[in-house]
Structure 1
Amino acid sequence: MAAVSDAPALAPLSPDPPGDRESTADSERIRRLMARFIGGGYVAYFAVTAPEILSQAGYVALWWTPVALITTYLPGWLLIPAGYFSDLRTIARLAALCGAGYAISVGLWFVAWSGVHVPGDRATFLVLFPGLASLALVLTRWPLLSIGHLAIAASTVMVANDRGRSQHFESAIAPEIVWAIAFSGVFVGAAIMAVRTGDLLDQSRAYAYTLAAQAAAEQARGIERERYDWLVHDRVLAIMRAARRSGVDERLSAKARQALAEFETETEAPDRPTSLSVSELFALLRTAAAVVDDTVPVTTRNSCTGPAPELPAAAGHALGEATGEALRNSRNHAGREATIGVLVDIGESSVAVTIADNGRGFDPALVPQQRIGIAVSIHRRMQRAGGAAEILSAPGAGTQVRLQWPK
């Protein structure tokens, strides 16, 4: 069989994919949104405190103001691009730097203060946002640390503010500390609950996927039981009844050997074809692709020097169903502008199907094992048919799903 057309262009893959893939997990979406929100808060507070930063610079050592600007604001500003482009580990590190940077700046203020009182109600601009740094800590692996950070940071900055401001603004320090903790604590508590809710949703989804995978496995076992029931009823019992009536002869021995062979190879029921030709497989793959998107090209490449091989019907249907699942994943996740193609390689005794797109891509190592589309509908389906599946992808480098029979 001659090649129908050239192979579709396959997306190049990066050997070292950078960063994590963009996940649809609820917890990740919440953390990314919060990172951008907190980063915006740092930008807004800088705009508000800029005049005070300049006016208060003369009351502290010259080195403190630039150090405080870097340690306090820079990690918060970086949260904005990180919320769009970085992985969760980077976001967590920046969030931890926000909390640590604010604490360092407050602590160094006591060292840098000149002892001269600021003629106003605020001796340091840091007193305006103690809760923002604590809010950032919600994005780390230990979100409850934000509560302790808020209590310590708010108390310390209020003491610093009380020491450095003019004596005309004397007030009870304890109520100010309680008010600062209570006011910011509302937002910190809400953020903790939001992150916790996302984690619970992910856990619930993973549990549902596990149950679905178990149900799929049970369904597969049911199909196997039905297949063996057919073999037992129409082969074993029939041969035993014939042997009881007429005794054992060569024909019954041949039928018994055939039944044993069918048990070993798990032959399908006689009302379904036991094998597929290459042309039938190609038609099956075209149909599977057309169900998802009839614009996806399906091309073939034949390297056979002799007659094209036939393959078991179970393997052919597994290739078709896995191809359909891979195409659905590409159409749903690759992006609207992505180009998708299917290439069928016909070898002397093997068949390989490659589904490729040049879309967004992802990191396969980060896909949970219980995800049905990949684990059950592609990998396990091909394994049960005696084949194998391989997924090659990287963020921004497209995706290739390679189905091979036999393994």
Structure 2
Amino acid sequence: MLLRFLLLFTPLALPILASLKNLSNCDPLKKDARKQTPIPNSTNCPPDPAFATETSFDFTRTSWDDDQFTSFWTADSSTIKDKRQLALDNTEGKGAAFIVWQDGQAPTLTSTKYLLFGKVSVQAQAAKGPGLITAIVLKSDSGDEIDWELLGAYENQAQTNYFYDGQPLFNTYNTTHHLDTSSFSQPHTYAIEWTPASLTFSIDGVVRKTWHNPSDDSDSDSDSDSVIPASKWPQTPMQIKLGIWSVSNASDPGTISWAGGLPDWSGAAAAAAAHAADKDDLSYAAHFLSLQLQDYAGGCNETDSGSGGGIEYLYDERTTGWQDIDLKGCANRAAPGEYPPPPPPASSSSATSSGGGSSSSSSSPQPTQGEQSASPTNTATDSGKGQEPSETGNQNPDPSETGSSDDSGNAALPSGRPSSPLGAVVFLLWLLAV
């Protein structure tokens, strides 16, 4: 009886899925890549094409008709049908404007290629408004996910989340970081560096959080403030996803509270419809200016001369770790733990990038050290965790209660969060009672 009472009056404990759009429809860890895939309607996953280089993309110099844009990015079907959701030109130098004006919209760009460890830096200006979430996501076909989330209700903070293999890790690997300047009025550069040994989040070149991978599979240090168990470390190739999404009346109350309330759509639809004429009224728009990327290519530092410089990542249900991932087209792989990978012992064929709008790429997978950004306006200086959050919005989330997201295979950025420790306990009891 008590259990039923708790379940009836604690709806905040139940997760809800809300997200960017997910274009992946094949989980290699649940398929058998040993079988040939030219057969129509085959259930096996094709290899993931790799960036395998250093490259960049400039959103201030691209358009829907740009061949470099279409070779670098894929938009979700809803945005392709209604391109008002993604303005790529005439944005007064603010880059790509991702626009929402009603429930259910989540304009999303997904990279056509993958990286297996590396560094991604994105210069973005967040959308302002309760219930709006500007997202920078690394997501693998098997569910590994690393996120930056910028909540439109709180202008002086940014959140990071991580989860492994599509498993919800509520209130575990998430952190709220303080910003000294607004995320709405000017762009900041949000970076992720991911290696087999560490996962580092930076803002404007300042490291804000580093997670470490222990040397073995023991969970003995799993309670540490900076350790993710080796058994839960992200280690499958990831695509890059950029976009904006919102909560709605159908969302879980805990998710709505986390997002600072529901969006107010009044006036936003007209602004979006008239975006070509009135750029100042795009209040419900997230702007992405540039992306810089260094794919460490799973340690590959020399490509096969017969591969044309291209690398593909291939894995299946037999894969137990990143070392098992086949790097097709790679002639030489660095020793484990050497990241970025060192130069090859002799001259080699170089990997190339597909490029992007006014993009550039290096001649090999060798990344440079240090933050690369498009001249951020301001620099954040605090360590990030446990900082006093902004007073913007109706309810600012406590860093200890902004949990990592859930995943159902249909969402690139699910955001189910128990609203409190008690809610998490009740949610567990609910699962046991079902």
TM-score (norm 2): 0.18
Give the TM-score normalised by structure 1: 0.19
The structure carrying a bigger strand percent of its residues is: 2
**Structure 1 or 2: more helix by fraction:** 1
Instruction: Using CA pairs under 8 Å that are at least 6 residues apart, name the structure with larger relative contact order, 1 or 2.
Output: 2
Greater Rg over alpha carbons, structure: 1
